[in-house]
Structure 1
């Protein structure tokens, strides 16, 4: 970060003090001027035909008015400076706490909070907004650290396996090279898929896409058609229904979202005769895509963790298609990038219901 060179100036507290004093002095001048005008209007101080001041009854009182007025002005000046400095300090005390918290945040400390006491006012709103920002930054940083650690672990595994296979081929020339090549191809394919998934996750998280009009129902239909051979291979029936669902966003990312949901529903299903329901809905302000599948019972606690990166669930790690553990994490990131909401609900009879709700866009019926 580049620091901008600035000339030193008066502090805000001093500016407020001078402002208070200036306002008080102006009020004093106006008050004294009004008192002098009152004395003149009452005939206590008058002029003759030549314009010279002449004494009238009460002139002695007027002659003592000027020193008294000067004394009052001096008092107001001293009182305004001292009182203004004190009041400005009291008013700016919350800002000092916010500034100290900001300095701590710049050093990387995000665990502290301002928690400004008192009733709701502008400073309280600023402090609460800053506390909310710190909380989100801390949560985001912790999530990024977990993600980096998990990504390093996931990428290290295929690299370690590849190194082992290469060492075997080097030290054992009589070993079946075709088998080693097949296993290397499988491991490298998984590493490539994982890398591409990480890049997609990063691109979606940064919202680096140009918004366009998208029909979410077409994305769901295309994803279903693409994954139909996989469903038939695993004995899963795909059922689709719903309305035209116009929204705004990235067509490529929303297609990836639908594909991940349908693929996840197919893979994590019953061993045979499973079903996946893909439904789109059109609301007043939102559109929805719901993917529901049969399968094993999923606890609410497990469902709440499935959108975390590399979280597959204990029951799912032992299937023949454990996956990368990024499918629902990518869905969550794409949903957030489109200002939507993602809801995972376990089905009482087994399986999972995943609902994506996005803002409604312009289109037929909009």
Structure 2
């Protein structure tokens, strides 16, 4: 924004300090003169009798008064300029850091030394904001790189299949069509997942009252055939859990959690438990637990990043596209909720999503 030039804050503070000092000095001298003249009148022949003594006092002390006021003016200006410079020095550091950040240097930190005060609170808040922005930018860069890689993979496979078909006219076209169909389906699923992720981040959805326990039952019923195929027992439990949000997105959130719990489980005799209900703080909690391999806490902390998987890439019909938990976290945030992942001591994962009870997102 273009602004007209004006006096600096340091100059304005200097003039303010000098002005206050001059006013205080004038009031003090006026008070002294008042008492002095009153005493002179009392010592003289009586009230109202202005003897030459008062005139002598005026002639004697008036130059001294003018000298004192001139000294206070100079002292106020010089001292105010020095004090204002010292007081505004932290603000200059914050301004320099802001210019560096606007130029793209997000790694710079102010780290203002000294005890806590308003300037240091501002500097600490600015450092925290820079750290969050830097982490967000790094996450977006990783996401863009990973998304490009994931989208390029099915396209490269399709091109390779078509090149093979072109060089081998006698190859069974049915097999080529089937493989192209699988690759194309994966590309479509990945694109739709990216669209859902962007839609959740923008909070571009209608909101209505949703019972999360019914959503959990619907997701479990939908994925029951997959659980039976993998020999995983699926249990649901819960009470009425009202949330204000998008039914479609909340169903997608729950379905992704349950599907992730089923796929990343023991080879057989695995267990998945789903529960929705009220939390101790008055909100609503959805908990999905599953058995499985033991997971390191360092790995669990990265599972919500796009295209990160708890195990090596799994080539199955339900392997997913690596955006399941990232979508869950985005949907939870869009509903003012929070996703917490914890490794179970016996193996497996515990996913907890907590929502405010019927709190409107963004309010």
With the length of structure 2 as denominator, give the TM-score of the two structures: 0.91
* Partner residue, 2:269: 273
Residue in structure 2 matching 1:198, options 194, 197, 209 = 194
Equivalent runs, 1:344-355 vs 2, <5 Å: 344-355=341-352
Equivalent pair of 1:268/1:316 in contact (CA under 8 Å): no
Distance 1:314 1:273, change over 3 A: closer
Of 13, 16, 21, the match for 1:19: 16
The change in CA–CA distance for 1:267 and 1:109 in structure 2 (over 3 A counts) is same
Q: Would you say 1:232 and 2:205 are equivalent positions? A: no
CA contact (8 A) 2:37 2:54 kept: no
Counterparts of 2:304 and 2:39, CA distance in 1: 85
Alignment match of 1:130 (pick from 123, 126, 129): 126
Q: Give the 3-state SS of the residue equivalent to 1:130 in structure 2.
A: helix
Give the aligned CA root-mean-square deviation in angstroms.
Answer: 2.3
Where does 1:305-344 land on structure 2 (aligned, <5 Å)? Answer: 305-315=302-312, 317=314, 321-344=318-341
Which blocks of at least 5 consecutive residues in structure 2 are unaligned? Answer: none
Aligned to 2:240: 244
- Structure 1 runs (4+) greater than 6 angstroms displaced: 45-48
Matched residue, 1:121? 117
- Corresponding position of 1:207: 203
- Verify the 8 A CA contact 1:110 1:134 in the aligned structure 2: yes
Residue 61 of structure 1 corresponds to 57
When residues 233 and 9 of structure 1 are mapped into structure 2, their CA distance, relative to the original with a 3 A threshold, is same
Q: CA deviation at 1:58?
A: 5.2
Displacement, 1:65?
A: 1.7
Equivalent of 1:112 in 108, 123, 130: 108
User: Is the CA contact (8 Å cut-off) linking 1:45 and 1:62 kept in structure 2?
Assistant: no
**Structure 2 vs 1, CA of residues 319 and 296 (structure 1 numbering), >3 Å: closer, same or farther?**
farther
1:79, CA displacement in angstroms? 0.7
**1:75 positional shift:** 0.8
Secondary structure, counterpart of 1:157 in structure 2: helix
Following superposition of structure 1 onto structure 2, how do residues 83-232 of structure 1 map, counting pairs within 5 Å? 83-232=79-228
Report how far residue 315 of structure 1 moved: 4.4
Match of 1:298 in 2: 295
After superposition, the Cα gap between the structure-2 partners of 1:45 and 1:22, relative to the gap in structure 1 and judged at 3 Å, is farther
Alignment of 1:253-268 (within 5 A): 253-268=249-264
Distance (Å, rounded) in 2 between the aligned partners of 1:300 and 1:318: 25
> Which residue of the partner structure matches residue 68 of structure 2?
72
Q: Shift in Å at residue 225 of structure 1?
A: 1.9
State the TM-score, normalizing by the size of structure 1.
Answer: 0.91
